[in-house]
A and B are shown apart, each in its own frame.
Chain A
Amino acid sequence: MISIETHNLTVSYNKRPVLWNIDFELPTGSIVGIIGPNGSGKTTLLKAIMGLVPTSSGYVKIFDKDLADVRQRISYVPQRESVDWDFPASVMDIVLMGRYKKANLMKRISKADLEIAAEALEKVNMLEFSNRQISQLSGGQQQRVFIARSLAQGADLYIMDEPFVGVDAATEEAILNLLSDMKKEGKTVVVVHHDLQTAKDYFDWIVLLNTRMVAAGPKDEIFKEELLQEAYGGKLNVLSKVGDLMKEKAFNVREK
C-alpha cells in the first residue's frame, strides 16, 4: 500500500520554484528518510505534503486520499527551532496538544486524554518531566516532547523534521528504537535528515533531494556513488537560473 504519493509536485516561494517536479510513491509501514543538503527543499517538501505551503503544480495523495480527508491520521513533528520554547506551558500542556482535534473544539481535555498523554511521555522517557516548564528542557528533551505530542495523537503517518539535530547519542538511540517500534505497529514514518553517514542505518527507504528529486527507492538502490554525487554535488546551474528568471519575470510554472 502507498502512504504518500507526490505527483509532479512543484513548489515556489515568490514564484521561484524551490522544488521541481517531485514525483514519488512511499510504501506504508516503513521508515523513510528524506535526504539532501541544506536548502535543498526538505522542509518545504514536508510542508507541501501537509498543505502548509501552496503548491504551484502537481498534487499530493495520502493513503490514496486527499489531505483534507485523512488529516486525523497524519502527525507532524516540526523542527525544534520553529517554536519559541519560552512559551508559558508545561511539558504536559504541550503533549496534550496532540489530543486536540476539530471534534473537541471548545471542549475540555478529558481524563482519557490525560492518560494517553502520560503514556506517550512514558514512551519517550519523559514522564518525570511532566510538570517542567518547557524552557527548562535541553534540546534533546524538547525533541522528545514534540515526539510525545505526536504519539499522543495516535496517527498512522508520522512526519518528522530533523529529529536528530542537537540530540545526544542516548536520545538518538531512544528515538531510533521508537521509530522501529512504530514501524512494527505498521505505522509509516517520514524523517527529514541531512547526514548521509547515518542515513543508511536509520532508514529503509530514501528520497534523495536537491531542489529536484535525484532518486527515491529502497536504501540499497539509492546508496550508489553516482546518485549521492548528484544529490550533494551542488545545484544544477541552468535549473537555478531558470528559477531566478521566473521570479524576475513573475512567471508561473503552469500557463494559467
Chain B
Amino acid sequence: MNSTFQFISFSDPNVLFVVLGTMILGASAAIVGCFSFLRKRALVGDAIAHSILPGVCLAFMVSGSKNPFYLIIGAFITGWLSLLLIDGITRTTKIKSDTAIGIILSVFFGVGILLLTSIQHSGNAAQAGLDKFLFGKAASLTKDDIYVFSSIAIVLVIVVVLFYKEFKLISFNPDYAKVIGLPVRFLEFLLATITVLAVAVGIQAVGVVLMAALLITPASGARFWTDKLSTMILIATLFGAASGFLGSYISYIAPAMPTGPWIVMCLSLLTIGSIWFAPKTGMLSKFRVQKENNRKILIENVLKLFYHLGERTNGFKDERSTTALLETRDLRIKELQRGLNLLKQSHWVRKKGENWVITESGLTEAKRIIKLHRLWEMYLNQRLKLQPDHVHNDAEAIEHIITPQLEIELEKELNYPTKDPHESIIPYNE
C-alpha cells in the first residue's frame, strides 16, 4: 500500500506527468470519439492512427529532433492526407469505405515502417525512442509533452463547445444540414481536424494499434447510460480520463506492466461494466425486470390455487395442505413453497400448523387475478372470435400484465359480464 500512497501523493514529479498526460489524452480522444462513434466511423480512427507514422518519421527527418510539437505537425499532415484520400476514393470510385480505409491504412503504415527502419539504420543517435510511436510511451511522458497535450485538449474542447449543435446535426442527418445551408464541408473539415489531433496525441500513450480503442470504446460504453448527447460526451470523457488514471496506476505498482495496454484494458472493463450495469438498457436490469416478472407470476399463480380450491369446496378461507394445493396445478413443490413464503411476506396467506390459509387481502387479490383471467378469455372469445377451448393459455399470461386502467376499459367494453366462456363466474370485488 506504500506504493499506492506514493502514487497518489505524486511525490515523484514524473508520476504526475504520466498521470496528467494519460488522463488528458484519454479524455480528448473520448470527446471526439463520440462523434466518430455516432457517425459510424469507428474504423476511420484506426486509419488515421496508422497513417500518422510516416508523418512522424518525416517530421523527424526534416527537423532532426524529437520535439513533440514538430512530430505532431508531421503526424497531423499525413493523418489528414489519409482522410482526404479515403474520402476521395469512396466518392470517385465504386470502392466502399471499409475497403478504402483498409487500402490507405496499409499503404501509409507500410511507408511509415520503411521510413522508420531507414531512420534507425541512419546512425542518428537522436532517433532512439522514435519507435515508441508504435506501442506508445505513456510511462515516459515529460513536462513538454504535457504542455503540448493540454493546449491541444483545450483547442479541442473549445471547438466542440462552439460547434456542438452543428456537430450534432451533421452526425444525425448531414443531408438536412446541407439543405438548410450550413457549411457542412467546413464543419466536416473541422471535425476531421480535431479527430486527427486527438489521434496524434493519443497515440503517444497507447500506440498505433490500440488507438482506435481509445477513440471509440468510451463512446460506446457511455451510450448505455444516457439518451442525451451532452451527457454521453461527459460520461465518455470521464471514462477516458479514469482509464488514463487507472492505467498509469497499475503500471506504477506493477512496473513490468505497460501503461498503454492497461489504459485500453480499463476502458474495455468500463464498457463491459456499462453493458451489464447501465440502468434500463443494461443486461443486469433486464435480468432484474425478468426476475421481477417471474416473481409476480409465481405469487399470482399460487394465489389462484387457493381461489380454485375455494370455488370447488365452497370455502375460500379453508385450510389447505401443500398436497391439496398442488393438485389443481402442475407446479413443482419447491416453486410452491417459494411462492407461499413470498405470499406470507405480503400477508396474503398465513401459516396454520402444517397448513396454509388465505387472508382477506389475499382473497381480494386472488379475485382480481381470476377476474382478469376470465375477462380476458371473454375478450378473446368475443372480439377475436376464438373458440372457448383456445383462450385459456393466452389468458394465463395476459392476466399478469393488465393494468388497473386497462381493467376498467376491459370491463366497460365487455359490459361487466358475469360469466366467462366456460360458464365460470367472474368475481368482482366490491
Contact = CB atoms under 8 A, between A and B. Distances in A.
Interface of A: 14, 47, 50-52, 68, 71-72, 74-76, 78, 82-84, 87-90, 93-94, 97-98, 100-102, 105-106, 108-109, 133, 135, 149, 153
Given A14-B94, A78-B176, A101 B226 contact: no
Contacts of A84: 40, 172
A97 B176 contact: yes
Given A88-B227, A88-B228, A101 B180 contact: yes
A87 B37 CA distance: 10
Contacts of B178: 50-52
B172 A72 contact: no
19 contacts: A52-B178, A68-B181, A72-B181, A76-B180, A82-B173, A83-B172, A83-B173, A88-B38, A90-B228, A93-B229, A97-B172, A97-B173, A97-B176, A102-B181, A102-B182, A106-B162, A109-B165, A135-B227, A149-B176
Contacts of B181: 68, 71-72, 101-102
Given A72-B180, A76-B180, A108-B165, 18 more contacts: A50-B178, A52-B179, A71-B179, A74-B179, A78-B175, A83-B173, A88-B223, A89-B227, A89-B228, A93-B229, A97-B169, A97-B172, A97-B173, A100-B169, A100-B177, A102-B181, A133-B227, A153-B180
A90 B179 CA distance: 22
A93 B169 CA distance: 10
A90 B172 CA distance: 12
A78 B173 contact: yes
B94 A87 contact: no
A49 to B, nearest CB: 10
A176 B306 CA distance: 56
Nearest to B223: A88
B232 interface: yes
Nearest to B181: A71
B175 A106 contact: no
Interface string B219-248: 000010011110010000000000000000
Interface of B: prevailing SS: helix
A109 B230 CA distance: 14
A100 B172 contact: no
B417 interface: no
Nearest to B162: A106
A84 B163 CA distance: 21
Contact of B180 (A68, A71, A82): A71
B387 to A, nearest CB: 30
A87 B182 contact: no
B166 A105 contact: yes
Q: How large is the interface on B (under 10, 10 to 19, 20 to 34, 35 or more residues)?
A: 20 to 34
Contacts of A83: 172-173
B132 interface: no
Contacts of A108: 165
Given A83-B172, A89-B229, A105 B182 contact: yes
A69 to B, nearest CB: 10
B168 interface: yes
A106 B163 contact: yes
Interface string B143-182: 0000000000000000000110110110111011111111
Contacts of B162: 106
B174 to A, nearest CB: 9
B21 to A, nearest CB: 30
Contacts of B163: 105-106
Contacts of A87: 38, 171-172, 229
A50 B184 CA distance: 14
Contacts of A89: 168, 172, 227-229
5 interchain residue pairs of minimum CB distance = A71-B181, A133-B227, A76-B179, A106-B162, A88-B229
Most buried by A among B162, B168, B177, B232: B168
B183 interface: yes
A76 B175 contact: yes
Contacts of A153: 180
A84 B175 CA distance: 13
A41 to B, nearest CB: 17
Contacts of B232: 88
Interface in B254-313: none
Contacts of A98: 180
A22 B297 CA distance: 64
A115 B227 CA distance: 23
B229 A100 contact: no
Nearest to B169: A97
Contacts of A97: 165, 168-169, 172-173, 176
Nearest to A85: B172
Contacts of B183: 102, 105
A50 B182 contact: no
Contact of B182 (A14, A88, A90, A101): A101
Contacts of A105: 163, 166, 182-183
